[in-house]
Structure 1
Amino acid sequence: MVTFINRFTVTGPAEEFERLFDDTSAFFRDRPGFISHRLLRHTEQPGSYVNVAEWENAESFRAAVTHPDFAPHATALRTLSTSESNLYASVLERTATH
Structure 2
Amino acid sequence: MITFINRFTVHGPAEEFERAFDESSHFFTAQPGFVRHRLMRHHEDPTAYANLAEWEDEESFLNAVRHPEFAAHRAALQALATSDPNLYTPLYERTATT
Specify if TM > 0.5.
yes
Partner of 2:47: 47
Could you say what secondary structure the match of 1:59 adopts? helix
- Over the aligned positions, Cα root-mean-square deviation in angstroms equals 0.4
In structure 2, the gaps of 5 or more residues are none
In structure 1, the gaps of 5 or more residues are none
Residue 56 of structure 1, CA deviation: 0.2
Residue 89 of structure 1, CA deviation: 0.7
Partner of 2:64: 64
Equivalences, count: 98
Opposite residue 85 of structure 2, the aligned amino acid is S
Opposite residue 57 of structure 1, the aligned amino acid is D
Counterparts of 1:12 and 1:77, CA distance in 2: 10
TM-score w.r.t. the length of structure 1 is 0.99
Opposite residue 63 of structure 1, the aligned amino acid is N
- The superposition leaves residues 38-59 of structure 1 with CA deviations (integer Å, 9 ceiling, x where unpaired) of 0000010000000000000000
Q: Which runs of 4+ in 1 moved over 3 A?
A: none
TM-score w.r.t. the length of structure 2 is 0.99
Give % identity.
62
In the TM superposition, 1:11-50 aligns within 5 A as 11-50=11-50
